[in-house]
Chains A and B, each alone.
Chain A
Amino acid sequence: MATQMYFIAFRNQFNQQTSHEIQQLVHDSGGFILMVTRTGQVVVVDDSQVPLITKHPSVKSMGGVTLNPHGVAAQRLQRIFAENLSKQIDLSMLQQQATSTNRRTS
């Protein structure tokens, strides 16, 4: 299966606790949160986890999205996504993986 970018729309008005719950659910599903707004979240998650996330009572809809490079603020969005992603990825772990791969190939 493939990892895709999704927009999760909230069912009711913005609620900090609900927003946190959904963020946690995405994180537990192996996904990443790219951006949080008052009406929804932009996340990256594996296709197979979508049914699980949509089952949450506060999730109104979840649909795949694509970043249009010609958008007015596409570059800014890309930067926000990259910043938020960098905070969630354990870089030390990636470095360890890269080192072990190099050892194996050499």
Chain B
Amino acid sequence: MSIGADLLAVPFGDMILSMATAIAQSQKELDKASLVTLRELAGTHFNFIENITEVLVPNPQTVDLDPNDPSKGSIVVTGVDVKTTVGPNVDLTLLQAGLTPTFYQFTESKIEVKISLHMATEASFGINVSHDFSVDENVGFDDGSGFTYSRATTWASHVDASYAAKYSYSADGSSLLSTTLKPAPPPQRVMPRFISVNAFFSPPQVNISQ
């Protein structure tokens, strides 16, 4: 199998599609959870006392120098009277008060595919040559009439050739899918705009907050 075929075998399209689908589904679920929290915050009421006014009023006190002897006179000490006025309760929700749900967003996604290919060829060639050489000589007399001599030579050669080739091929692959999740500001159209009008003042004070 060639390297190109290996690379083509990696399902890039499927991987990207799966990851994108998973991110989209997760984002949907996260947004749903944030909207549930938004609803809960909008349904949680509490009494908000906007103003507590404390007015310090001078309240001088006359103290006798000797309670048993009024003839010794008296002094006037500075006294203070605190008049507290609690403003009207305002029914607020936690959302109005300033608690907003956290929205999350997938800011970055990354697909990394790594393939490492290893190819190795190993060849070996060997020749084994062996020679055998032998000589037999016989000298003798046959029934007294003559001299005999014979010589036999033997030559043998062995040639052994061998060839071996070994091919190895391996492909390793690894893939990394990573994504980053970060808190994001709430969508503009999801969050209500609060317009509070304070009619205690003249002209009424208007405060717009989001």
Contact = CB atoms under 8 A, between A and B. Distances in A.
Interface of A: 4-5, 7, 9, 37-40, 42, 60-61, 63-74, 76-77
A24 B165 CA distance: 73
Contact of A67 (B37, B48, B96, B99): B99
A37 B46 CA distance: 7
B40 interface: yes
B100 A73 contact: no
B102 A66 contact: yes
A77 B97 contact: yes
Contacts of B12: none
B34 interface: yes
Contacts of B46: 37
Chain B interface size band reads 20 to 34
Chain B CB count within 10 A is highest, among A37, A39, A74, for A39
B44 A68 contact: no
Given A9-B44, A42-B99, A71-B96, 9 more contacts: A7-B37, A7-B101, A37-B44, A37-B94, A63-B36, A63-B37, A72-B194, A73-B50, A73-B92
B43 interface: yes
B148 interface: no
B101 A70 contact: no
Chain B CB count within 10 A is highest, among A38, A65, A66, A74, for A65
A77 B99 contact: yes
A66 B44 contact: no
A93 B130 CA distance: 91
Contacts of B101: 7, 63-66
Contacts of B92: 72-73
Contact of A61 (B33, B50, B196, B209): B33
B99 A65 contact: yes
Contacts of A39: 40, 43-44
Nearest to A78: B98
B210 interface: yes
A40 B99 contact: no
Contacts of B209: 68, 70-72
Which 6 pairs between the two chains have the least Cβ-Cβ distance?
Answer: A71-B98, A63-B37, A74-B98, A64-B102, A73-B97, A9-B40
14 contacts: A4-B102, A7-B41, A39-B43, A63-B34, A63-B40, A64-B183, A65-B37, A67-B98, A67-B99, A71-B98, A71-B194, A74-B98, A76-B97, A77-B98
A93 B187 CA distance: 41
Contacts of A37: 44, 46, 94
A99 B177 CA distance: 44
Nearest to B49: A76
Nearest to B35: A63
A58 to B, nearest CB: 14
Nearest to B208: A70
